[in-house]
Amino acid sequence: MKKTEKLTACPLCKKTGAPILCSRLDMIVRKCRGCGLMFQGPDSPARHNRELIEKIYAQYAGHIRQHLRLNRPRVLQMEALLGRPFRGLKVLEVGAGNGALGHMLTMAGADYTGLEPMELCRRAALEQFPELAGRLVPEKLRAGLFPERSFDVVVATDTLEHMDDPLEAAKTMALLLRPGGKAYFEVPNESLFRLKGFARVALKMYGGGYPTNPDHAFLFTVATFRLLLEKAGLREEKLVKDSVLGNPARIKIAFNGRPPFPLLAASWFFKYTQVDKLLEQGVLAAVVSRGALPSAAPAPRTERA
């Protein structure tokens, strides 16, 4: 084994020994021998390809109609999992993106604040949803940005996998919860990553041949997602699996509005059969509450999903 592989430490369990699992173009994905976490380390140039990543975000920020179709049922699911409606709750969204979810939460009656450091996403959000003016904060999540115990609900959908340190970010989000408050997280389920990566390359996704989004620093499975929550001092209340292949809106967003027709047709099959969830594919959605935590968490360096 190469010396650099021996010295590579897992960002989650901190143990050394994370050999290369996949190398494609300028992307290097490693897998920890201890906890099984898959991640792009500092030695993966794709993680720093800002030109490509911003192009992907620019495409993501469009397709507002599809994002609204995605987020309408998402808000209902969030309320069901949280066990309460959003009306009257003080809500923080980490990684507000193009504002579609923030719009739906505001419409649901939440006292909404969104963090979005990327200008192109904030601009798209404010153009489409002017009611978010004054509610979007152009900051990355960091300790001390808000007083502790400031929010009833903290939301991070498709965000933790983009962060430089999702463990410290999750700790920081936990400290923002009021007594009885809850956080709602969603991350892609990257089980069977080799098979999924092969399919993404064949379909020329993410700039024409990457096995995953180059800005996904972490590739979670059920086991490593739960380990992250545990290490962050968060108490898992509910964890569900949602379909991606069975969600035509997600498919259209992923393919910049032009998915191959056979894949779009297949998405309706998966929508009604949910077969992909049986294969451990899709999205992991978790509701967690604050457990035993230290009084402060180190400031995380985070990036937008």
pLDDT at residue 302, rounded to an integer:
43
What does pLDDT average to over the chain? 88
Q: What mean pLDDT do residues 134-150 have?
A: 96
Q: Per residue in 87-97, pLDDT tens?
A: 999 999 999 99
Fold of 3-290: Rossmann fold (3.40.50)
pLDDT at residue 7, rounded to an integer:
61
33 Cβ partners below 8 Å, 6+ apart?
A: 15, 17, 18, 19
Q: Which of 178, 186, 185 minimizes the C-alpha distance to 90?
A: 178
Q: What mean pLDDT do residues 10-20 have?
A: 91
Helices and strands, counts by H and E, the chain = 11, 11
Looking at per-residue confidence, does 261 or 214 come out higher?
214
Say whether pTM exceeds 0.75. yes
Burial class (CB in 10 A: 0-12, 13-18, 19+), 24: middle
pLDDT at residue 295, rounded to an integer:
41
Q: What mean pLDDT do residues 191-196 have?
A: 90
Q: Per residue in 200-255, pLDDT tens?
A: 898 888 877 899 999 999 999 999 999 999 999 999 999 999 888 878 888 888 77
pLDDT at residue 296, rounded to an integer:
41
Q: What mean pLDDT do residues 55-63 have?
A: 81
pLDDT at residue 292, rounded to an integer:
54
Q: Per residue in 162-189, pLDDT tens?
A: 999 999 999 999 999 999 999 999 999 9
| Strand order through the sheet with 136-137 | 136-137, 111-115, 90-94, 151-157, 177-188, 283-290, 234-242
pLDDT at residue 301, rounded to an integer:
46
Pairing of strands 27-31, 20-24: antiparallel
Query: Tokens in use for 151?
Result: 């929010």
Question: DSSP labels for 247-265?
Answer: -HHHHHHHTTT---HHHHH
pLDDT at residue 238, rounded to an integer:
95
Q: Per residue in 275-300, pLDDT tens?
A: 777 777 789 999 999 875 444 444 44
Residue 2 reports pLDDT greater than 70: no
pLDDT category, 149, cuts 50, 70, 90?
Answer: very high
3 Cβ partners below 8 Å, 6+ apart?
A: none
What whole-number percentage of the chain has pLDDT above 70? 93
Q: Give a three-class secondary structure readout of 264-287.
A: HHHHHHHHHHCHHHHCCCCEEEEE
**Which residues are 115's β-sheet partners?**
94, 137
